[in-house]
């Protein structure tokens, strides 16, 4: 198995460890969970770079790499639900959209068909990851005595329920909207894909 694929497997393996640590309720373990998530996210960037630079592109990698990404991000969103940071219905919408599009793209790759990735889809990914890191960092820092003792007011403002709710609502909206536009812009390709 080539190195990029090994990194993809590592990302999948790290995901349940991240979840266990994050929802543990133990400050030290929560802090470690942030490091685990960052390492997992770094493998995503690094395996993509390796695959492009050294042409380590395999059919297995095409299937598993985007799937591993969605497993990691979806797990993080559900972890936020479990600790009461975000609402379940929003996470369900985000995960459903991402799962459907990911499976569609994987099937398209198998059929040697390429989709157009819109600007709004790239924006969606950017805002999702920004929100994930925002909550992960703040939630983790809120378990560190130094930050709690010196910056508690700032942390409280940044983790304000209304701010988090409407930020998540925006991420949910742009995710669902990007899914709708994705199907609309690629409708002719999708018809051909399933007519073969």
Domains in the chain and their CATH numbers? 3-195 (1.20.120.1760)
Contact of 91 with 81, CB cutoff 8 Å: yes
Give pLDDT tens digits for 90-143.
999 999 998 888 888 877 777 777 777 778 888 998 999 999 999 999 999 999
Q: What average pLDDT does the chain have?
A: 87
Closest C-alpha to 131, from 170, 96, 104, 92: 170
Packing angle, helices 88-110 and 187-195, rounded to 10: 60
Give pLDDT tens digits for 44-59.
777 766 666 666 666 6
pLDDT reported for residue 58: 67
pLDDT reported for residue 6: 81
pLDDT reported for residue 4: 66
Instruction: Scan for tokens 């690094």, then name that residue.
Output: 46
* Section 2-15 average pLDDT: 83
* 0.85 surpassed by pTM: yes
- Is the pLDDT at 89 greater than 70, yes or no? yes
3-state secondary structure of 119: helix
pLDDT reported for residue 90: 97
DSSP 117: P
Residue 90: partners with Cβ closer than 8 Å, 6 or more residues away: 168, 169, 171, 172
- Is the pLDDT at 193 greater than 80, yes or no? no
- Is the pLDDT at 11 greater than 70, yes or no? yes
Closest C-alpha to 80, from 17, 27, 26, 18: 18
3-state secondary structure of 69: helix
Distance CA 132, CA 50 (A): 25
């Amino acid at each position: 198995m080539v190195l990029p694929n090994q990194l993809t497997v590592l990302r999948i393996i790290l995901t349940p460890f991240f979840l266990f640590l994050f929802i543990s309720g133990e400050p030290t373990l929560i802090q470690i969970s942030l490091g685990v998530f960052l390492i997992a996210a770094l493998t995503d960037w690094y395996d993509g770079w390796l695959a492009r630079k050294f042409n380590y592109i395999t059919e297995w990698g095409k299937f598993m790499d985007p799937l591993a990404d969605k497993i990691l991000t979806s797990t993080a969103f559900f972890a936020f639900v479990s600790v009461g940071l975000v609402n379940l219905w929003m996470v369900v919408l985000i995960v459903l959209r991402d799962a459907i599009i990911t499976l569609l793209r994987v099937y398209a790759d198998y059929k040697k068909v390429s989709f157009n990735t819109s600007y709004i889809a790239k924006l969606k990914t950017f805002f999702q990851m920004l929100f994930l890191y925002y909550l992960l960092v703040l939630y983790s820092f809120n378990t560190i005595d130094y930050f709690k003792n010196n910056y508690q007011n700032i942390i409280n403002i940044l983790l304000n329920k209304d701010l988090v709710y409407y930020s998540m609502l925006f991420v949910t909206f742009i995710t669902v909207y990007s899914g709708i536009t994705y199907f609309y812009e690629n409708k002719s390709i999708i018809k051909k894909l399933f007519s073969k």
